[in-house]
Amino acid sequence: MKEKLKALSELQKVDLEVAQLRKAHEVHPKQLAELEKELAAAASALEAERSRVADIERQKRTLEQNITEEKDKVKKWEGRLAEQRSTREYSALAREIDIAKKANATMAEELSELGKALATARESLKGREQEFGTRQGDLKSRMGELRGKMSEAESQVHALESRRGEAAAGVDRTLLQRYEAVRKKRLPALVPLRGGTCSGCNVNVPPQLANTLRVTLGTDVCPNCHRIIFSPEALA
């Protein structure tokens, strides 16, 4: 029985090592997701800034086109002034020309303000792009480190899984089945008694059960946590 128990104990050592390794690295996927989210938010903010600049550029082009069209219209109307035969027609056309010129002056002021706003927006975008470039480099570097750690952890787990297969092959089949059933719920699944107490749940087992395990050097199940229990003498 000692050899069977020893083989199972060796298997559990591998399982505990795997569990410890996975626990140590379980935070990495979450950290990676947070960095990816942060990078996406930064990229989205930069894209919004670019869209704002593009919108001002479109407004500026539209206004420039309107001013050009209005100026052409004024030129045509001014050319037609000499053709007017009546004072009434001349005055009406002159009034339209004056209104158009005032509208052009207003649009010219708007164009000037848009030019200033565009220059400011472009300067702001340039700074944002530089900031994003630095931030992107930092985030990608940290993401690369995390992916490296995750890959390394997976390689270590894979190596341990190979060791586990070898260790499991040496465990008594019946004992292994019982162990696997417990392992799916909790680890460690195999624990020694300590002064009549299950070291897995720290609850006293019936004295008769503790005495039986000390005499037979076998295994049993803790009535409380259902782990496999044994007396320390079994591995002494």
pLDDT over 90 at 130, yes or no: yes
- 234 pLDDT band (50/70/90 cuts)? confident
- 195 pLDDT band (50/70/90 cuts)? confident
- The phi and psi torsions of 26 (rounded to 5 degrees) equal -70, -20
Model pLDDT for residues 1-42, shown as the tens digit of each residue: 788 899 999 999 999 999 999 888 889 999 999 999 999 999
Q: How many CB atoms lie within 10 A of CB 66?
A: 15
For the domain made up of 17-170, give the CATH fold. Helix Hairpins (1.10.287)
**Angle at alpha carbon of residue 235, lines to 233 and 236, rounded to 5°:** 60
Task: Output the pLDDT for position 84.
Answer: 80
Q: What is the spatial distance between Cα 112 and Cα 117, in angstroms, rounded to a whole number?
A: 9
In the chain, where are the structural domains located? 17-170, 174-235
Q: What is the pTM of this model?
A: 0.64
Model pLDDT for residues 39-88, shown as the tens digit of each residue: 999 999 999 999 999 999 999 999 999 999 999 999 998 888 878 878 88
pLDDT over 80 at 153, yes or no: yes
Q: What is the spatial distance between Cα 189 and Cα 14, in angstroms, rounded to a whole number?
A: 12
pLDDT over 90 at 236, yes or no: no
- 98 pLDDT band (50/70/90 cuts)? very high
